Amino acid sequence: MSEPRKLLKGETGDWEVVIGLEVHAQVASKSKLFSGASAEYGAGPNENVSLVDAAMPGMLPVINKFCVEQAVKTGLGLNAKINCWSRFDRKNYFYPDLPQGYQISQYKDPIVGEGEVEVEVDGEEIRVGVERLHLEQDAGKSIHDLSPKESYVDLNRSGVALMEIVSRPDMRSADEAAAYFSKLRTILRYLGTCDGNMEEGSMRADVNVSVRRPGEPLGTRTETKNINSIRYVKQAVEYEARRQIEVLERGGKIDQETRLFNVATGETRTMRSKEDAHDYRYFPDPDLLPLELDPDWVESIKAGLPELPDAKKHRFMRDYGLSLYDAAVLSQDRAKADYFETVAGGRDGKLAANWVTTELFGALNKSGKEIAESPISAAQLGKLIDLIADDTISGRIAKDVFAIMFETGGDPERIVEERGLKQVTDTGAIEAAIDAIIAANPDQVAQVKEKPKTFGWFVGQVMKSTGGKANPQAVNEILKKKLGVE
C-alpha cells in the first residue's frame, strides 16, 4: 500500500491522490432502527412516521434486532471484527428535519471494527481496509421549493437505519474509488443487507480526497458529501484531485472543508469550512443500554452467510479456469453468478463464460434489461452451447440462433430445427458444393498455392453456398485436400 501505484502529472511533477470513502448504506429492513414505522421507500409525505420518529415528548427508542443482525452480517461480509459490546451515542445539532435535535449514532464504540475488501481495478486486485461500520439513524428531508416563504419537512426517512462504512485512505485513483464503491455495493447486495438502490438514496458516499508528492506525508483532505452514483464518485475524485493539484502548484493551500458535488457540471464547491464545523457534543444515549451481542448468535449468523463475491470469484478462477476479469464480472452480482453457474454446469467453463459475458451481457446491455429479465434462460443458453459442442450447429450459426432466442425466446433446438439451421455434416453435399466452386473459379484455384491466405476466400464461398450450415471443420479438410494445400 505504501508503494505509489498511480500518479497524476502536474505542471511541476507527479502527485499521488489519496482517497477514503465513508459510505452510508440503508439497511434493508421493513421497519426503522428504533421504531416500528415502515422504512419502505415511496410513501406519501409523513406517512411512515411514528411518535418516536417525530420525537414526541416522552418517546423512547427501542433497537430493532433485525437491523443489528444486518449490520453484523455486513461486518462479517467485509471480513471485519464484530464488536460484541457497542454503544449508541447522541450527535446533537439543530435542524428541522432532525426531530430529536440529535441523531442516534455510534461514535466511540461501533458495532463493527476493522475489515478488508478486495477490489479489482484494470484486471488487478487491490485491498482496501475498512476502518469501521456503525449503525445510525437517517434524518428526514427538508423541502424548500414548495413555497417561497416556508420550508416543508418529510419525516419518512427520519429514523431509517443506516450503516456507515468508513474505509481507510487506501485508494489511489478515481478508478479505485469507484471500484471500491461498486464492490461494496456488490457485497451488500449479496448479503441482502442493503438493496444498493442509489437513485432512491440507499447508498451514498462521502469522498475524502487529498494529494501529496509521492513519499510525503498525507496532505490536507476535503470531504465531498452525498454522492449517489459510482460514476459521480469517479468524477468527484477526478475533479477534486485536479483542483487540489492546481491550488498547490499555484502555491496555495488546501482548506480542510466539506464540499458539495454538482451533478450537472461534475465540479465540487465549498459547502462549509472547518471553522463552521458543528460541535456535535456526542455522549452515550442514556435511553439505550449498551448493545451486547451473544458470540454464539454472531457465529450462527456467520454460518448462514451466503458465498460472498470474493470467494465466488476465486472459486470461478479455480474451478472453471476463468480469468480474473471474467471471474470478477461474473461474481459481481449474485443473479449473474447463478446464471453463469447453471450455464457452465457440465460444460466448458471458459466457453460458458464467453457466451454469458460477451453475448448475453452485451445483448442485455443493449436492450437495457437486467439479468433477471433475460429472455434466454440459463438452461436454454446451456443447450445452445451443447448444440455447438455436438456439431449440430457452428459457432457462427449459434450467434444467429442466440439473436433469435433473445428476440423471440424459445428453445434453441426447436429454432435450429424449424429454421433448418442444422449443420451440414454430410461430406457428399459439402464435396459437391466445393467441386462447384472450384470449377467456377479456376483463377483463384491457380493462385491459392502461392497465396495460402486466399484459402479463406474458398471457405467463405462454401459457407455462402451452404447458407452457413456446412460444418466448418469438414469444409476445411475437404478444401485442403481438393486444393492440395497444407
d(CA 84, CA 313): 30
8 A C-beta contact, residue 153 and residue 142: yes
8 A C-beta contact, residue 38 and residue 48: yes
d(CA 121, CA 180): 9
For another protein, the closer of residues 32 and 90 by Cβ is 90
Cβ at position 270, least distance to another protein in Å: 20
Cβ at position 159, least distance to another protein in Å: 13
Cβ at position 206, least distance to another protein in Å: 21
Q: Contact residues for another protein (CB under 8 A)?
A: 51, 54-63, 90, 92, 94, 96, 99-102, 151, 153, 279, 281-283, 286-289
Residues paired with 134 in a beta bridge: 164
SS3 call for 193: coil
Cβ at position 39, least distance to another protein in Å: 19
Q: What is the DSSP string of 370-425?
A: -GGG-SS-HHHHHHHHHHHHTTSS-HHHHHHHHHHHHHH---HHHHHHHTT---B-
Q: What element of type H or E holds 156? A: none
d(CA 129, CA 80): 10
Cβ at position 58, least distance to another protein in Å: 4
Cβ at position 408, least distance to another protein in Å: 57
Place of cell 414548495: 146
User: Which residues 6+ apart lie within 8 Å of 291 measured at CB?
Assistant: 63, 68, 85, 86, 87, 88, 111
Cβ at position 25, least distance to another protein in Å: 25
For another protein, the closer of residues 8 and 84 by Cβ is 84
Place of cell 448462514: 304
For another protein, the closer of residues 151 and 323 by Cβ is 151
For another protein, the closer of residues 63 and 445 by Cβ is 63
d(CA 113, CA 134): 9
Residue 444: how many other CB atoms lie within 10 Å: 17
For another protein, the closer of residues 55 and 263 by Cβ is 55
Q: The C-alpha cell of 284 is what?
A: 452515550
For another protein, the closer of residues 100 and 392 by Cβ is 100
d(CA 194, CA 198): 10
For another protein, the closer of residues 271 and 288 by Cβ is 288
For another protein, the closer of residues 148 and 286 by Cβ is 286
Cβ at position 168, least distance to another protein in Å: 24
Cβ at position 291, least distance to another protein in Å: 10
d(CA 369, CA 343): 19
For another protein, the closer of residues 282 and 361 by Cβ is 282
Cβ at position 213, least distance to another protein in Å: 32
For another protein, the closer of residues 66 and 457 by Cβ is 66
For another protein, the closer of residues 62 and 403 by Cβ is 62
For another protein, the closer of residues 286 and 442 by Cβ is 286
Sign of CA dihedral 332, 334, 339, 344: positive
Place of cell 472459486: 315
Cβ at position 106, least distance to another protein in Å: 15
Burial of 425 (0-12, 13-18, 19+ CB in 10 A): middle
Max alpha carbon distance in the chain (Å)? 99
Distances (CA, A) of 140 to 27, 54, 80, 100, 453: 16, 10, 30, 11, 70
